[in-house]
Structure 1
């Protein structure tokens, strides 16, 4: 397959990234709260380790599945290309979710889509993304201010908002070139005989995923010793079943109004307050797609 050389050929990836990051933070925060509710003993470092394992498992299995399917009998070149595009989007979604989850654990709340986009592209570029962010930060903030911070903090909170457009433009060009090379190599790997293509797809995604994990570690430094208050787990109210409600209604009918009021006061005393607007599920990170979020600067909570 001929390697894609023009930025416009993969411009759809930037649009995809915009849609993904528009609704990521609420999903990320809910996932982290769910994780803490089910595993309250985990420290921030242990939560990041669990996020890493979830992320690597997701991208590795996705690459292997597409690698096996793309070379199956009856799958043409166009279909194989479509599978590779779908897998690229899936990898991007998982990487964006992982990046923002690590950011939240470090107490940085990224609600500005431009900052979130710069973070994800910078992580996927590895050392090249780090160097680019540092260079632009030194130009706008001075060598002393930029040199004393981790680059993840610079791009998510400390760099002036007016500089983010320039940072995103630089990162976008480098990101699209990197993705063009990776997509071409991915298609070549999946042209191998059935079975081998699956191994190449899975191993390739695992290697790239580990590079992103390492880049996230370098972007923010050591994990904090405590969680930010925004990640406090939410306690669910245990709701009675239909049969229990019917039985209670019959009991209230027998006891009269006074008995019903006593039951209501007892229930209020037994059940802690909950936030009904924050449903939680302890599941693997979803593949979010949505609209752009609010454009406000993120900062440490």
Structure 2
């Protein structure tokens, strides 16, 4: 068997079936996250609280808000594992819930930045494209642009508003498969260090999810590019 086949884990029917199950689970998690995201409302609220902020400043505020929440989410689960009455069994359950919470926070951040850029992402399939690609960071941007034949990494406006829905679904399938290998469906990337005893898990959890959050921030930047010079009319009125 080639090293490439070993790397992606295609080692027989059993593995393929497991991969299909993980993809289905991840699709449900992504769909739930984008349905529950409140990015548009968050952008409007932050604009009202910071009436003198320029678009670039508002994006930085959104980034700090998101990274803080991601880091605290990871640290909280790690801390739970250090409490004798809780233990690693409950912490593992909390970690499963944390995957969902992390995805919702990531979707909210990505949709909020889309609002600042004036990109409306109404349907679930297109929202999932933005979330899945952002979770993969720069790699996600490269996968999307390669799939649809774009010559720029700032792909979101074209893909999310003009690409036919059939192409969007094909892109989503590709991104979901990559995310499964990346470890999201099993919680692999999120579990790192959470169940380490004596308080170390809390530290690793905090740093680990903040690092994953930074990957999402990078992915969103690759999707939209630099912030616009001016706000949309809706955000201008919200001040």
Q: If the TM-score is normalised by the length of the shorter chain, which range does it land in?
A: 0.7 to 0.9
What is the distance in 2 between the residues matched to 1:29 and 1:180?
25
Matched residue, 1:108: 119
SS state of the match for residue 187, structure 2? helix
Structure 1's unaligned 5+ residue stretches are 139-145, 236-301
- Largest Rg, 1 or 2: 1
Structure 1 residue 20, shift from structure 2 partner: 2.8
Counterpart Cα distance in 1 of 2:27 and 2:196: 29
- Counterpart among 14, 21, 24 of residue 11 in structure 1: 24
Residue 200 of structure 1: which of 199, 204, 212 is its match?
204
> Which of 2, 9, 21 is the aligned partner of 2:34?
21
| CA distance 1:188–1:57, shift in 2 (3 Å) | closer
Structure 1 stretches of at least 4 aligned residues deviating more than 4 Å after TM superposition? none
Q: CA deviation at 1:164?
A: 0.8
Deviations, residues 35-74 of structure 1 (Å, cap 9, x unaligned): 2222210000000000000000101011001001023213
Q: How does 1:1-301 map to 2 (within 5 A)?
A: 6-9=19-22, 11-24=24-37, 27-138=38-149, 146-148=150-152, 150-180=154-184, 183-184=187-188, 186-234=190-238
Structure 1 residues 133 and 188, CA gap change in structure 2 (3 angstroms)? closer
Q: Name the CA shift for 1:228/1:7 in 2 (closer, same or farther; >3 Å).
A: same
Query: Structure 2, unaligned stretches of length 5 or more?
Result: 1-14
Of structures 1 and 2, the one scoring higher in RCO (CA 8 A, sep 6+) is 1
Q: Is the 8 A contact 2:39 2:110 kept in 1?
A: no
Cα–Cα, structure 1 residues 215 and 231, in superposed 2: closer, same or farther, change >3 Å? same
Maintained 8 Å contact 2:25/2:185: no
Per-residue deviation, residues 221-273 of structure 1 (Å, max 9, x unmatched)? 111011111224458xxxxxxxxxxxxxxxxxxxxxxxxxxxxxxxxxxxxxx
Q: Residues 123 and 75 from structure 1, CA distance in 2 versus in 1: closer, same or farther, beyond 3 angstroms? A: same
Alpha-carbon spacing, 1:185–1:173, altered in 2? closer, same or farther (3 Å)? closer
* RMSD across aligned positions (CA): 2.4
Query: 2:5 — aligned with what?
Result: none
Contact 1:71 1:190 in 2 (8 A): no
Following the alignment from structure 1 to structure 2, what is the Cα–Cα distance between the partners of residues 209 and 188?
14
How far apart are residue 207 of structure 1 and its match?
0.8
- Normalization by structure 2: what TM-score? 0.84
- 2:93 and 2:26 map into 1 onto residues whose CA distance is 14
Per-residue CA distance 1:173-215 (angstroms, 9 max, x = gap): 1112213487235435123222110000000011111111122
Residues 150 and 180 (structure 1 numbering): CA distance in 2 closer, same or farther, change over 3 Å? closer
Distance of aligned partners of 1:187 and 1:215 in 2 relative to their CA distance in 1, 3 Å threshold: closer
Residues 16-49 of structure 1: CA distance to partner in whole angstroms, max 9, x if unpaired? Answer: 321232253xx32222222222221000000000
Q: How many residues align?
A: 224
SS at match of 1:87: helix
Distance 1:45 1:187 in 2: 33
